[in-house]
Chains A and B, each alone.
Chain A
Amino acid sequence: MSTYYASLFAEAGILLLGALSVYIILATGQLSLGNAAFMAIGAYLSSYLTVVVGMPVTAALIVSAIAAGIIGVIVGFPALRLKGIYLAMATLGFGEMIRSFFINFPAMGGSGGFHGMAHISVGYIWAWAGGILVVLIVVERSRVWLEMQAVHDDETAAGLVGLNTVAIKVSAFGIGAAVAAVSGGLFAHHHVYIEPANFGFERSIDFVLATILGGSTLGLGSLIGAILLVFLPEFLRPIADWRLAAFGTLLILVLLVRRQGIVDRTLLRGLTFRKAAS
């Protein structure tokens, strides 16, 4: 595999985790536009732990995920009093807040960025991304996931049938934050250089796009979305300057035809049926 393709695969793995972090929160009906902030926390904290403290990268990723998860829960409590567009605005604000914090944080390089991390392989990135995706696909078939779906569908009814909606939403926020932090840690150790501009609003939007495009009702959707988002613009290179416009058009078309995204449960069932029949 050429280094060029290897780096695209690495980007796809990192984006997959970012998309999953949005997906997990979205599964309870919350839209977060600030997950790049959790990614930044994961990137900076894990880099600090490997470069300054000298921790192995896997341990650093786990610690960063836990730390970001706790921050996610703390942010989650006040944020989840808000719904819909107001929550989206609040998370967007949180994202900008964290980005400007790192710009003004000289201990980690401020706007100049931070470097010194050891490079990780594509295989390592995909071990994390694939592992988390598989765990999620298993959890998607569980009672806990049904409870999240209930909160997503009708929060009031979910509460009245005995589900602790606050706990479910805040936990989803925490887990989503932890997954975003892993994405950030992998990003930092893949690029071996990070700066606050890496974790801006566009990054959060990329996560949301990958989730929505691929299919926001299944973890598998994030995989498809992440791969499309990374590879499609590359395959469109022959049309040069028009490729981003073409990509945008494709995106709009997909969403017009399939609002639920490319994959959903019905499609998956159809595919498995056909396999069983043949």
Chain B
Amino acid sequence: MSAPLLQLTEVTKSFGGIHALSAVTSGVPEGKIVGIIGPNGAGKTTLFNVITGAYRADSGAVRLNGAALNGLPSHRIAREGIARTFQNIRLFPSMTVWEHLLVVQPHGEAWWRRLLPVGWGDPAAQVRAEEVMEFFGLTDLRDRPAKSLPYGLQRRVEMARALTARPKLLLLDEPVAGMNHDEAEEVRQLMLKLRATGLTILLIEHDMNFVMRLCDYLYVLDFGVLIAEGTPSEVRTNSRVLDAYLGKDE
């Protein structure tokens, strides 16, 4: 296997005296679905925030395809090819589903064309938005305000928004939280289809059944420290992971 798409080296982040992340080193290989699991407060979302530039790491390096991302503002990191969703859904309240997909199109268009009504602009942008909308089954909802949709569909809009920009790496923060079994299964199928197109996915999830059946590789965080990694079956039987989740026998 060649160098991973995303490489984290000794990433450390503290808030005051709390070590949210202690020297985390991990890699996400291209075309794989990698999961991060761990108890609440383990630093999973902090890790996402460091990768996407919402927080700045105290030390350590984040590299995408070998290029350092540390210190770049978050919009530059997004344009380098990292898109994300949020644990607490963050859609734009004033926008319809369709508008969510138009607003994040990659910037290739001439500036004056971006000032014209969307219908007169770059047709490629609209084709892409249609494509993603279709993929997530949102076509019939295109003109609905995204915030008015049921929770599960809002999560889909968020994923669709992230995907429209054609990222290399998709970060999903609890993609099936609050979904029932059938909805989660649908999302799992979508993820597998995305992997088949060559997309790399890094996700945080508490639903162990979902994680174990979807991910190719897992990292386990506990109190900001990487305590285990491996394939789902390796992690499932790792004693340190069981201790972290269930508590240690004294």
Chain A residues within CB distance 8 Å of chain B: 138-139, 141-144, 146-147, 149-150, 152-154, 156-165, 217
Contacts and interface: CB of A to CB of B under 8 A. Distances in A.
Interface SS of chain B: helix, strand, loop or mixed?
loop
B84 A153 contact: no
A144 B116 CA distance: 8
A158 to B, nearest CB: 8
Interface residues of B, number: 36
B18 interface: no
A32 B172 CA distance: 37
B165 A141 contact: no
Contact of B121 (A143, A154, A157): A143
Given A150-B92, A162-B75, A141 B86 contact: no
Contacts of A147: 103
Contacts of B106: 162
B61 to A, nearest CB: 20
Contact of A159 (B75, B121, B161): B75
A157 to B, nearest CB: 4
B102 to A, nearest CB: 6
Interface in B95-122: 95, 99, 102-107, 109, 114-119, 121
B114 to A, nearest CB: 4
Contacts, number: 87
B118 A143 contact: yes
Contacts of B75: 159-160, 162-165
A143 B78 contact: no
B7 interface: no
Contact of A144 (B94, B99, B115, B165): B115
29 contacts: A141-B117, A142-B115, A142-B116, A143-B109, A143-B114, A143-B125, A144-B115, A146-B102, A146-B103, A146-B118, A149-B95, A149-B99, A150-B92, A150-B95, A152-B94, A153-B94, A157-B90, A157-B91, A157-B92, A159-B54, A159-B74, A160-B52, A160-B78, A161-B161, A161-B162, A162-B78, A163-B75, A163-B104, A217-B94
Given A146-B95, A159-B54, A160-B74, 9 more contacts: A139-B115, A142-B118, A146-B103, A149-B95, A149-B99, A154-B91, A157-B90, A160-B52, A161-B104
Contacts of B91: 154, 157
B52 A149 contact: no
B79 interface: yes
B73 interface: yes
A161 B165 contact: yes
B203 interface: no
Contacts of A165: 75
The 10 A-B residue pairs whose C-beta atoms are closest, nearest first, are A162-B78, A141-B117, A153-B92, A157-B90, A146-B103, A159-B74, A143-B114, A161-B104, A164-B75, A144-B114
Interface of B: 52-54, 73-75, 78-79, 83-84, 86, 90-95, 99, 102-107, 109, 114-119, 121, 125, 161-162, 165
Nearest to A269: B143
Q: State the majority secondary structure of interface residues on A.
A: helix
A161 B161 CA distance: 8
B104 A162 contact: yes
Which of A138, A142, A144, A162 has the most B CB atoms < 10 Å from its CB?
A162
A152 B91 CA distance: 12
Contacts of A163: 75, 103-104
Nearest to A159: B74
Contacts of B102: 143, 146
Contacts of B104: 161-163
Given A160-B52, A161-B161, A142 B121 contact: yes
A228 to B, nearest CB: 24
A264 to B, nearest CB: 10
A70 to B, nearest CB: 18
Contacts of B118: 141-143, 146
A156 B95 contact: no
B73 A159 contact: yes
A165 B79 CA distance: 13
A137 to B, nearest CB: 10
A30 B70 CA distance: 29
Contacts of A159: 54, 73-75, 78
Contacts of A144: 114-115
